[in-house]
Amino acid sequence: MMRPTTEPPADPDRRTLIGIGAVLALAALPRAAGAQPPSRADAAAAWAAARAIPLWPAGPPGGGFVERPVPAGGAPTFIRNVARPELRVFYPARANGSSLLVMPGGAYRFVSVANEGVDVAAAMTAHGYTVFVLVYRLPGEGWANRSDVPLQDAQRAMRVIRDHAARGGLDPAAVDAVGFSAGGHLAASLATGFAEPVYPPTDAVDALDARPRGVGLIYPVISHAAGIGHAESSRMLLGDRPDAARVARRSPALRVGADTPPAFFVHALDDTAVPAENSLIMMRAMQAAGRPVEVHLFERGGHGFGTGPAGTPAGGWLDLFAAWLATPRG
């Protein structure tokens, strides 16, 4: 079981820099033809070495956390029992001034920080982004107001990143976000609910804007409808018998508006866990609201492919995403 640390160093220390070097060395692996993604042992080591920033120094809002049993044989990079959510920071060799918030998936049962965290950080730091991977609280771990808990952490993460950028020589306005599967649902919820009052302000950081400049939604859970959405993600987020108002409140396609940031979608048409219709539902909502949207549908890839299977079209999505992020948008 991995627990978020609570006290980050004031600046990246030698241990952190070693970890950063390991991540950058790994960055080329999934991009090269025929290369395999980094081993999970390497991902776990890079994760452990990365700087940790606690989201809520005085503790998260609400209460009720209850530690749950961890399944035997679970991967150490599947993080559960998140009592103190945090960001892990991955620094580029040469910063481009922009930051990226990464929200891994895990069906709201765990946070998968290897394929949808460390691997993504390796690829995006190579493009110059300072990458912040979010370990958000899991709504089924006893928290009050369970359907608000992940969004509380995502909003706070955006504000903490902007505060970090302002103090660290980065552009506070140039903060994008990307989410995967259930983390894609969280990213879509952030894009449509960045101003939703889901927690009381705790300090000056909470006065900062939580709206991402742009958002990537990678095989995202969008719908809670049977046969379209992902039943386990919906159950963990909403509970066993949510009323219609709660379902609607956490259905991001119903909440797209004129201030929803531009969105970039990636989905495989052979995804049987979270069908591509989820992305199409959100795409149509974005189009109806007149918001900028770009969609990439791949014939093959399945679900949970992270940076993408090497040597396949889906394996090139991160380069498309980096190009999209660098393109001026409305």
Helix (H) or strand (E) holding 235: helix 231-238
User: Is the pLDDT confidence value at 22 over 80?
Assistant: no
Strand 51-54 with 99-103, pairing: unpaired
**Which residues does 240 contact at the CB level (< 8 Å), separation at least 6?**
none
pTM for the model stands at 0.88
DSSP string covering 136-169: PPPTTSS-TTGGGHHHHHHHHHHHHHHHHHHHHT
Of residues 14 and 109, which shows the higher confidence score?
A: 109
Q: Where are the domains of the chain?
A: 14-325
pLDDT digits (tens, 9 = 90+) for 77-95: 999 999 999 999 999 999 9
Confidence of residue 3 (pLDDT cuts 50, 70, 90): very low
User: Is the pLDDT confidence value at 313 over 50?
Assistant: yes
pLDDT digits (tens, 9 = 90+) for 158-217: 999 999 999 999 999 999 999 999 999 999 999 999 999 999 999 999 999 999 999 999
pLDDT of 72 reads 81
Least confidently predicted of 266-275, 298-307, 308-317: 308-317
User: What is the CATH T-level fold of the domain 14-325, as seen in this structure?
Assistant: Rossmann fold (3.40.50)
**pLDDT-above-90 percentage for the chain:** 82
pLDDT digits (tens, 9 = 90+) for 50-72: 999 999 999 999 989 999 988 88
Of residues 29 and 176, which shows the higher confidence score?
A: 176
* Residue the block writes with tokens 């952490």: 153
Tokens of 94: 């040469």
- The CA distance from 37 to 111, in Å, is 18
